[in-house]
Chain A
Amino acid sequence: MRRRLEGRIGSIGGAYGIEALSIAGLLVIWQIAAQIMDNTLLLPSFLQVVGGFLRQWQAILFEDLPISLIHFFIGLIGGVMVALPIGMAMGWFKVADRIFDPLVELLRPIPPLAWIPFAIIWFGLTDESAGFIVFVGAVFPIMINTYTGFRSLPMIYVESAKVLGCTRDRDLIRYVAFPFALPSIAAGVRIAMGIAWMCLVAAEMFGVSTSGLGFKIWHFYSLHRMDLVLLYMIVLGLIGLTMDRAFRFLVEDRLLRWRVGLTQ
């Protein structure tokens, strides 16, 4: 039904005609509104932002973005490396669950940004410091989804693995629990990426770092260059979107093809 509907719309306005029109409409309204208001501080116009991009794109691409990506991946990779083993252990061994669960439940409700003072004290104004805030944001969603994935493993798969000679915990985790939990883990990483991206900007804005996309937003705000603030906001949004789509394409569509039948 949906497919047929899409087909009909497609035949009216090309493959993504209506979607493109919708975005173009927003840009036109924005530009007109900004021209009527005529106040760069309150609302910079679309063309001003485009102009800002033309002057600023090299700095964005070669200075700010690489720094932010370093912060992002320090936190995300650190998060995966800590969350996976703990989440797997908690999901598989009852003792590990009882050891880690109270700790996780105590630490998890602390908002990641509350760690900023300690991040600065521990790491100084370094990439690691911003990475640490990103890590705190990323680690729990991955851990919890890993745990949940392991916990929802149906007994039948464990038993059929056992009668096929897979009896050690190590093998059962590697050959059965982990592949079964992978879609859940991937979903956790995707959620973590979104949270990590938010934490990254906040951490950079609040002075954990002296560079990066988030830092630049605060920097240009202090110069009252709202056109550049808006430009960086848009860049952050587009990069977040790109990373989410790339992850979905690489991991969920390719690696987890087997899951199609389970979700439809």
Chain B
Amino acid sequence: MALLEIVGVSKRFIAEGKQMEALKEVSLSIDEREFVCFIGPSGCGKTTLLRIVAGLVEPSSGWVSLDGQPITGPGPERGMVFQEYSLFPWRNVLENVGFGLELKGMDRPSREALSRQYIEMVGLERFEQRFPHELSGGMKQRVAIARALVNEPRAILMDEPFGALDAQTRNTMQTELLRIWSDKRKTVLFVTHSVDEAIYLADTIIIMSARPGRIKDRIEINIPRPRVRTSPEVNGIRDRILQDLRSEMED
């Protein structure tokens, strides 16, 4: 059985008096340990879909289930990393990462020990006492990843997490994320604007179309990792996705 089932999910918003269909009957199964990237033009509802899986937004119809259990609200078994910097500015790195554990009622020594493991995993052991304003953009997102993973989530949802980073940092973060992913073997749902990022990361790329948002194409990528960003296979897939997206623009 799939880990995550998205069944007939639609979402309608009322914006400026007009009804907008952000998502229309989206159905998708995602397996345990699968790395899925969502890509599509703005307004295709990919972020909305991720927020529905997170439990932050309720679908107008349809449902999402994790391990067969319907999702009714947000919870730590679905960790999320946002595009904006979402670290709590009043907590240092160690306290940010330990936040979820603190809520579970774990005592301070155990949660600090566990938090340190994850801080080390993202390579920030020298920065655990720093406050968010003392970190670079890439470091902040590393902390956000550690903060989500320390709760041992079943799935991790990432909404353009590297969108605000410069190209160099972005490439490093992608490689780091794959290292962590192959280590922890978590299911990842990753929303991105970048075709290159999707091909470099994903097992499966879901291409979405806009107005109404729905799944247009699904591409399985079987190229072994680490992938060479300019190899012929990668170029072939990129052409196919770009064609998909271009025909989307012409519609």
Contacts and interface: CB of A to CB of B under 8 A. Distances in A.
Interface of A: 156-157, 159-167, 171, 175-176, 179-180, 182, 257-262
Nearest to B144: A160
B80 A163 contact: yes
Chain A CB count within 10 A is highest, among B88, B90, B102, for B90
State the main secondary structure of chain B at its contact with A: loop
A179 B90 contact: yes
A165 B89 contact: no
State the main secondary structure of chain A at its contact with B: helix
Interface string B100-137: 10111000000000000000000000000001111000
What 6 pairs between A and B have smallest CB-CB spacing?
A261-B133, A165-B76, A162-B74, A160-B86, A163-B80, A164-B100
Nearest to B150: A164
B89 A261 contact: yes
Nearest to A176: B88
Contacts of B84: 156
Nearest to B88: A157
Interface string B69-103: 00001111011101010111111100000011011
Contacts of A163: 54-56, 74-76, 78-80, 148, 157
B78 A175 contact: no
Nearest to A178: B90
Contacts of B134: 261
Interface in B173-204: none
Contact of B131 (A156, A164, A171, A258): A258
Nearest to B86: A160
26 contacts: A159-B56, A159-B80, A159-B82, A160-B87, A162-B73, A163-B75, A163-B78, A163-B148, A165-B75, A165-B76, A165-B100, A165-B151, A166-B99, A166-B100, A167-B74, A175-B103, A176-B88, A179-B91, A180-B89, A257-B131, A258-B92, A258-B133, A259-B90, A261-B134, A262-B89, A262-B133
